[in-house]
């Protein structure tokens, strides 16, 4: 049984490629909630445009964002105040089973806490493990998702 549905629409129209006249432009638009439009293209490695997001980036972003949202919820439930959360996530496109796939995604979150209660290293590890366990996106992928030094913190106030 479906708990919720998540819909996007995309549009593409034929246009000439900027630098290769024998092929087409990969740029298209993704239409998201709230009237947002995102310019998307293939990655530059596959004749895409550098000023657009590519599907691989969007997948990595979805994992990073999902992990962060669960982490923030867990931190709040445990009485911690998060003032800032940053992540530089990297997905690796590699050969697998005769084709290409994002085979692994590495998250590198850094968290700054405020308030009186600050987590220690072990608590940070558990919060990140809980976020990873509950992240819908990570649970949906075959790719391995890891968290580099899950207890990294930004300087607190």
Show the low-confidence residues of the chain (pLDDT under 50). none
What pLDDT is recorded for position 115?
Answer: 87
Residue 109's nearest CA partner among 80, 149, 62, 73 is 149
**81 contacts: CB under 8 Å, gap ≥ 6:** 75, 113, 114, 115, 117
Quick: pLDDT tens for 62-76.
Answer: 999 999 999 999 999
Domain topology for 55-147? GMP Synthetase; Chain A, domain 3 (3.30.300)
Cα–Cα distance for residue pair 22/121, rounded to 1 Å: 55
Cβ(17)–Cβ(23) below 8 Å: yes
Residue 16's CB is within 10 A of a number of other CB atoms, namely 11
Query: What stretch(es) of the chain map to CATH 3.30.300.20?
Result: 55-147
What pLDDT is recorded for position 144?
Answer: 84
Q: What predicted TM-score, i.e. pTM, was given to this entire model?
A: 0.88
What pLDDT is recorded for position 135?
Answer: 95
């Amino acid at each position: 049984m479906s708990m919720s549905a998540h819909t996007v629409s995309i549009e593409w129209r034929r246009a000439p490629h900027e630098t290769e006249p024998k092929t087409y432009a990969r740029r298209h638009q993704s239409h998201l909630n709230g009237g947002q439009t995102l310019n998307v293209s293939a990655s530059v490695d596959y004749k895409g445009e550098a000023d657009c997001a590519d599907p691989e980036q969007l997948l990595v972003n979805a994992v990073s964002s999902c992990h962060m949202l669960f982490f923030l919820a867990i931190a709040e439930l445990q009485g911690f105040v998060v003032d800032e959360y940053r992540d530089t996530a990297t997905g690796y496109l590699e050969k697998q089973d005769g084709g290409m796939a994002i085979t692994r995604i590495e998250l590198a979150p850094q968290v700054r806490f405020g308030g009186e209660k600050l987590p220690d290293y072990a608590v940070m590890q558990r919060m990140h493990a809980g976020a990873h366990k509950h992240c819908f996106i990570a649970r949906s992928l075959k790719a391995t998702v890891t968290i580099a030094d899950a207890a990294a913190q930004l300087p607190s106030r």
